Amino acid sequence: MKTTIIDLSKPIQYNAGDPWYMRVKIKHKSHKKSHWLIRLALNLPFRLFPKNWVGWADDSIKNMGLHATTHIDAPWHYGPVVEGKPAKTIDQIPLEWCYGDGIVIDCTHKEDFVAITVEDLKKDLDKNGITIQEGNIVLIRTDRDKMMGTPEFVERGTGMSKEATEWLIGQGVKVMGIDQWGWDLPLKYMAKRAKELNDPEYFWEGHRVGIEKEYLHMEQLTNLSALPPSGFKVSVFPLKIVGGSAAPARVVAIINP
């Protein structure tokens, strides 16, 4: 049997259904165009241009925020200080945190705008006979990745409560992730609800755990339905963006025979 690698990352591409601030723009430069650029910029005579080669393809990415696609948030994203120390930016994250045994917790039963609780996590772990170990990478499955590329992806979803986030950290989990737009309940819903409750502690409560306790989370994962509850590795190495609050990552699950 061969090792199976399952891609948990969203394709990086332009999608008109994304919010305006998430629409990735990629400019593709053709082989033919680079043929002329090579000759002009490098002053390479036509007679010396390889006969069996048109030119190289090239591309550039414009208007792609670090949180626009599958990514991992650094502690710096949550606030400038964590546990009384300067928060780490994404280039300062120990790579040892970014590879480990994976666990999927099924929260697909949660309705939109209803936060995931500690009881939800414990119930699914108990059902599958799983005990979280220090260094595990925990993935929260909601199946909201099915809405990727549509306006509903940002507007709808469940989300991790403050208590559930703290509980995972308490089990020794440094890196966790979710297959919906954000870690918390949808932003517009949280803002509306905070006004209704007149509660300054309600908004972004899951993220803000990272001001008190050092942890990282991934957002916009996909394909968690293809994974077993445990028995696989997760690799989530971010781009080394100096000073970044996050970085895109090619997140994969590795199942060894």
Domain boundaries, given as residue ranges, for the chain? 25-62, 71-255
**Which CATH code fits 71-255?**
3.50.30.50
For the stretch 170-204, pLDDT in tens is: 999 999 999 999 999 999 999 999 999 999 999 99
pLDDT category at 81 given cuts 50, 70, 90 is very high
> What pTM value is reported for the model?
0.94
Facing residues of 234 across strands?
100, 253
Q: What is the pLDDT of residue 8?
A: 98
pLDDT at 87 over 80: yes
Q: For residue 43, give every residue at least 6 positions away whose Cβ sits within 8 Å of its Cβ, in sequence order, or none.
A: none
pLDDT at 122 over 90: yes
What's 114-162 look like in SS3? CCECHHHHHHHHHHCCCCCCCCCEEEEECCHHHHCCCCHHHHCCCCECH
Q: What is the pLDDT of residue 222?
A: 98
Q: What is the pLDDT of residue 108?
A: 98
Q: What is the pLDDT of residue 39?
A: 83
Q: Is the dihedral of CA 103, 247, 221, 216 positive or negative?
A: positive
Cβ atoms of 216 and 72 within 8 Å: the answer is: yes
Q: What is the mean pLDDT of the chain?
A: 95
Dihedral pair phi/psi, residue 31, rounded to 5°: -60, -40
More confident position, 233 or 42: 233
Cα atoms in the Cβ-side hemisphere of radius 13 Å centred on 14: 9
Q: Give the H/E segment covering residue 4.
A: strand 4-7
Q: For residue 69, give every residue at least 6 positions away whose Cβ sits within 8 Å of its Cβ, in sequence order, or none.
A: 9, 10, 12, 22, 24, 220, 248
Q: Is the dihedral of CA 119, 125, 129, 130 positive or negative?
A: negative
pLDDT at 20 over 90: no
